[in-house]
Each structure stands twice: as structure tokens, then as C-alpha cells.
């Protein structure tokens, strides 16, 4: 039987790759629901092509029902589709903390949850874990590093695992200095991955890798000293698991999100080949340590992650705020990492974040942090 998919964030970069995967395996998947935020033009073309039964919008845009597609709005809309009998798999491809609420509802639905949204684990990892335990569920990660490690973890017994290594491309500033003149275009020209703007900026500061360390801590229930990062500029090896005997198990595939998306949708099966694969003899594979001086946000993520509780909620909100400001041209890239660290520390010093919290606490802190940032 075909798996019936609700794709949240269908208009984004991961959303688009997911649609391509669905198109390549029509005998396995059917797109039954989609969601979008602002890109109505793209939503319209997706609806025309895939004819989903449901479309959920964040706000009411007077977007009309069609003969076959019912248009819903906001949290109620997400819930109606997530809990509908027409859906088997929920794919979260929304960016930012906006992915948290649907993630929690998807877990409650006890359906298969496939998620690319790392921010919900960064902002509310303990809370998401408590829901996963309560509903005896798991999240199948799409993020390429976590998808690689998830696949290795499901094949290697945990007691044999010593540590994991996430690879990082190094972004556009691996071999280029960040100066006062660094432009938005330079920041957005990622050398190996083609992604949405927010995550591309995070890759340039290495905040993305820091967030992925926190994401891995929660997904795989590992202490932070069991999670390493290595720069691997070719972006072909995505995740490495080192077992207790010192063997390194690595997963390699093209720098193309369709691979982890397909593996996540098919898990535990492996789909037949439909996309261009890598040729391992084409270029040498390199690995080296991260230059901490150029990328202070990576270490800062470890620090905030170890602090735990709502510290990473604050960090996530500060980052979302200032990356947005940067994309609007209101802050220099050379000031971005420093500003994020200082603002996070300042907020945490003034409002000691609690260690036990609810979903409402997360949204309250998120709002408070954004107001705090506006004043800076």
C-alpha cells in the first residue's frame, strides 16, 4: 500500500527535494497534504501538480479551496491533517521554531515522523524527548549527518558505540577570511549544498554544525563528549560512528538531500537507485579539525548544550533574530557570531533559564528573547 504523506514546509528547499523523491517513487508514496507559509505561487503550482487533499497555511491569505483540495489555517489546520485517517507519514520540512508545534502534534498522532527541523530539538530537546517517550515514538531524521548516524545506529548495538562524528563542509569561509566587507552574496554562496537562506547563513557561521551537535545529543541520547565534528570539504561522507574497537563506520552519498529524504521515507528498507550517485574515485576525501577561532559558535553550542534546559531555546531565538537582521542587511556578517554570543549570555545572566519547562514556556521564552534582541 502507498504511504500517504503530509509534507509541512512543502514550498522550501527540503520540501522541494521531498516532492522530487515522491515523484520518483509513485508506487510507494502519495502526497495527501501540504503546508506553506508565504510562497503562495509555489503552493499553487504544487497543488496543481500533485492534487493533495489538504493545504494548510500559517495565516489566512484568502487562498481558496479547489474541487479536490481543502484549505485550512494555522495550528487547527495542522492538527486536522496530522490526525486525519488519510495520513500515514508526517514530514516536517518547516524551518525554525515554527516546526516545534507540528512536531509535537505529529508525535502525539503516533504516525511515522520524518523531520528535517533541527530547531525544534535545539529549542526544546528535553520536551520533544519526553513526548517521544510518552508516545513510544521516534523521529526519523532527514538532516544528512543524523540520517547517516541513524542508519548506522539501527544496525550497530549501542553498547558497541564509542562516539559519533558529524562532518562539516566548512562553508564559504573555510579558506577565505571574514572581513567587514563580507557580503550577503558571499555568505549565501555555499560551496557544496544548495539550501534555504537561514540554514545557509548558519552554515557560514558554523552555527548549523553546533545546532546539529545539540540535535544529535537528543536524537541519539549521547553525552556531548561523545559527539565530535570534523571538517570534510567534499561533503560526501555525512556521518561516522566509531565503535569501541576503534573501527569507523562511515556513510557516503552525494551532497544531495534527496538521498537522506528517500532513506528516511523508506526506512528500514533501502530504495532502488533513482538519483545520480557519487564516484569515489573522482576526488580525494579530506578530513580535518575545525578552526575554533574562526567559528566560535560551534564551541558556544557545546557550552549551551551542556548547560541544558532553556539555554538552547534562548540561543535558537537569538540566532533566528540576528540571522534575519543580517539577511535584511542591518548587521555585518563579521559582527554576527559575536553579537549572538554576547546577546545570549546577557539574556541568560538576566533570566536564569529553568531546567524543567512546558511547550508554553518555550514559546514565552522565544518571544521574550526576540523583544530583548529588538532593544539591542
Residues forming the site for ligand NDP (CB under 6 A): 9-15, 36-39, 58, 93-96, 98-99, 116-119, 143, 193, 195-196, 198-199, 257
Long-range contacts of residues 24-28, Cβ cutoff 8 Å, at least 24 apart: 24/258, 24/262, 24/274, 24/275, 25/262, 25/265, 25/271, 25/274, 27/2, 28/2, 28/3, 28/265, 28/266, 28/271
Q: Least CB distance from residue 12 to ligand NDP, whole Å?
A: 2
Nearer to ligand NDP, 4 or 190 (CB): 190
Report which residue's Cβ sits closest to Mg ion: 143
143 lies in the binding site for Mg ion (CB under 5 A): yes
Q: Least CB distance from residue 366 to ligand NDP, whole Å?
A: 12
Among residues 75, 77, 86, 143, the alpha carbon closest in space to that of 111 is found at: 86
Q: Least CB distance from residue 162 to ligand NDP, whole Å?
A: 25
Q: Least CB distance from residue 349 to ligand NDP, whole Å?
A: 28
Nearer to ligand NDP, 36 or 174 (CB): 36
Q: Least CB distance from residue 93 to ligand NDP, whole Å?
A: 5
Strands 237-243 and 161-168, bridge-based pairing = antiparallel
Q: Least CB distance from residue 180 to ligand NDP, whole Å?
A: 27
Nearer to Mg ion, 77 or 171 (CB): 171
Report which residue's Cβ sits closest to ligand NDP: 12
Among residues 245, 281, 276, the alpha carbon closest in space to that of 262 is found at: 276
Of 43-51, 64-72, 138-146, 249-257, the segment contacting Mg ion by CB under 5 A is 138-146
152 binds, among ligand NDP, Mg ion, none (CB under 5 to 8 A by kind): none
Q: Least CB distance from residue 13 to ligand NDP, whole Å?
A: 4
Nearer to ligand NDP, 71 or 348 (CB): 71
Q: Least CB distance from residue 253 to ligand NDP, whole Å?
A: 13
179 binds, among Mg ion, ligand NDP, none (CB under 5 to 8 A by kind): none
Of 58-66, 137-145, 152-160, 199-207, the segment contacting Mg ion by CB under 5 A is 137-145
Strands 248-252 and 237-243, bridge-based pairing = antiparallel
Say how far apart CA 161 and CA 130 lie, in whole Å: 24
Of 77-85, 142-150, 256-264, 359-367, the segment contacting Mg ion by CB under 5 A is 142-150
Q: Least CB distance from residue 170 to Mg ion, whole Å?
A: 13
199 binds, among ligand NDP, Mg ion, none (CB under 5 to 8 A by kind): ligand NDP
Nearer to Mg ion, 119 or 145 (CB): 145
Nearer to ligand NDP, 189 or 355 (CB): 189
Nearer to ligand NDP, 37 or 234 (CB): 37
271 binds, among ligand NDP, Mg ion, none (CB under 5 to 8 A by kind): none
Nearer to ligand NDP, 195 or 348 (CB): 195
Nearer to Mg ion, 104 or 142 (CB): 142
Residues with Cβ within 8 Å of 207's Cβ and at least 6 positions away in sequence, in order, are 297, 298, 301, 319, 337, 340
Residues in contact with Mg ion by the rule CB under 5 A: 143-145
Amino acid at each position: 500500500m502507498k504511504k500517504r504523506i503530509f509534507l509541512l514546509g512543502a514550498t522550501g528547499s527540503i520540501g522541494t527535494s521531498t516532492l522530487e523523491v515522491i515523484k520518483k517513487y509513485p508506487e510507494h508514496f502519495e502526497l495527501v497534504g501540504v503546508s506553506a507559509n508565504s510562497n503562495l505561487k509555489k503552493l499553487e503550482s504544487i497543488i496543481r501538480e500533485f492534487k493533495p487533499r489538504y493545504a494548510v497555511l500559517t495565516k489566512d491569505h484568502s487562498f481558496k479551496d479547489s474541487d479536490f483540495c481543502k484549505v485550512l489555517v494555522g495550528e487547527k489546520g495542522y492538527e486536522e491533517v496530522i490526525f486525519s485517517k488519510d495520513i500515514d507519514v508526517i514530514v516536517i520540512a518547516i524551518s525554525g521554531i515554527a516546526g516545534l508545534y507540528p512536531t509535537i502534534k505529529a508525535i502525539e498522532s503516533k504516525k511515522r515522523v520524518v523531520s528535517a527541523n533541527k530547531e525544534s530539538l535545539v529549542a526544546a530537546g528535553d520536551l520533544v524527548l519526553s513526548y517521544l517517550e510518552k508516545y513510544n515514538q521516534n523521529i526519523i531524521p532527514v538532516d544528512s549527518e543524523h540520517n547517516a548516524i541513524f542508519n548506522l545506529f539501527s544496525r550497530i548495538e549501542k553498547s558497541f558505540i564509542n562516539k559519533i562524528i558529524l562532518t562539516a563542509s566548512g562553508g564559504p569561509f573555510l579558506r577565505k577570511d571574514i572581513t567587514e566587507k563580507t557580503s550577503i552574496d558571499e555568505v549565501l554562496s555555499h560551496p557544496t549544498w544548495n539550501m534555504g537562506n537561514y540554514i545557509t547563513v548558519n552554515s557560514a557561521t558554523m552555527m548549523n554544525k553546533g545546532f546539529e551537535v545539540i540535535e544529535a545529543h537528543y536524537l541519539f541520547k549521547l553525552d556531548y563528549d561523545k559527539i565530535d565534528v570534523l571538517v570534510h570539504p567534499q561533503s560526501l561522507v555525512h556521518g561516522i560512528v566509531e565503535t569501541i574497537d576503534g573501527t569507523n563506520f562511515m556513510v557516503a552519498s552525494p551532497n544531495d538531500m534527496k538521498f537522506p529524504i528517500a532513506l528516511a521515507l523508506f526506512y528500514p528498507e533501502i530504495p532502488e537507485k533513482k538519483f545520480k550517485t557519487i564516484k569515489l574515485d573522482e576526488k580525494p576525501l579530506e578530513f580535518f579539525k575545525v578552526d575554533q577561532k574562526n567559528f566560535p559558535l560551534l564551541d558556544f553550542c557545546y557550552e549551551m548544550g551542556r548547560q541544558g534546559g532553556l539555554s538552547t531555546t534562548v540561543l535558537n531565538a537569538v540566532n533566528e533574530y540576528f540571522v534575519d537582521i543580517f539577511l535584511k542587511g542591518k548587521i555585518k556578517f563579521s559582527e554576527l557570531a559575536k553579537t549572538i554570543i554576547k546577546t545570549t549570555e546577557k539574556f541568560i545572566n538576566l533570566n536564569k533559564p529553568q531546567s524543567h519547562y512546558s511547550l508554553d514556556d518555550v514559546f514565552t521564552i522565544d518571544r521574550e528573547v526576540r523583544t530583548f534582541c529588538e532593544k539591542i
